[in-house]
Amino acid sequence: MDLTGKKIVVIGGAGLIGSHTVDHLVKEDVKEILIYDNFLRGSRENLQNALKDPRVKIYDVGGDIMQTDILQSALEGADGVFHLAALWLLQCHEYPRSAFDVNVRGTFNVMEACVAKGVKRLVYSSSASVYGDAVREPMDEDHPYNNKNFYGATKICGEAMAPEHSNTSRRACALTAESRCLYATPTARLPENRMRSVSACVTIVRFGRSRA
């Protein structure tokens, strides 16, 4: 996808990974970057530099992926969507039903909204957790799933839904991020390898590459 003049929605765009994704998108010749976030984990501080760009806006109607009507309204006219919203690992362990609702049903809501609004490209952010402990080294994208926690299970579910969604809808192209190390640590800035992962996600949208 040529990003020139396009509207991009970043779901979970106020989180650490999401805000860095926004920072990379600002470098592209896009028309609009809309941030859809409920700010439970994300913060406006993460976006303070990006918001200086008039193309970057926070969707002030709402930012909850469980509110499907508001979600669909945010995707009106969108060309591409980054889906980075999720409950994180410890929350999934402590509150598995909420984790299922947000990470699985919420991801389905995003995919459904993309179909309803004719979004051309969806990037779904998975996690290194799907690999679990290494069965072999080095670990690559052909490494088998060896997950042993509920967070990883929800991400595997999202990865399984993405290609099915793309094949059956024929209206929105869903892609999983090629680099699954899209997870955050509570530090001010991302390490260089994870910055490359965010950059790779933007590349996926631009050129339409997807993991088989």
Task: Inform me whether the pLDDT recorded for 151 exceeds 80.
Answer: yes
**Residue 151: active-site member:** yes
The answer to whether residue 79 is domain-embedded is yes
The answer to whether residue 212 is domain-embedded is no
The answer to whether residue 1 is domain-embedded is no
The answer to whether residue 159 is domain-embedded is yes
Can you give the pLDDT at residue 206?
47
The answer to whether residue 113 is domain-embedded is yes
The answer to whether residue 143 is domain-embedded is yes
Task: Inform me whether the pLDDT recorded for 168 exceeds 90.
Answer: no
Domain containing 100 — which CATH number?
Answer: 3.40.50.720
Task: State pLDDT tens for residues 53-95.
Answer: 999 999 999 999 999 999 999 999 999 999 999 998 999 999 9
Dihedral Cα 82, 31, 68, 117, nearest 10 deg: -100
Rounded CA separation 33/20 (Å): 13
The answer to whether residue 20 is domain-embedded is yes
The answer to whether residue 22 is domain-embedded is yes
Q: Which of 59, 131, 151, 183 is catalytic?
A: 151
Could you give the number of structural domains in the chain?
1
Domain that holds residue 183: 7-207
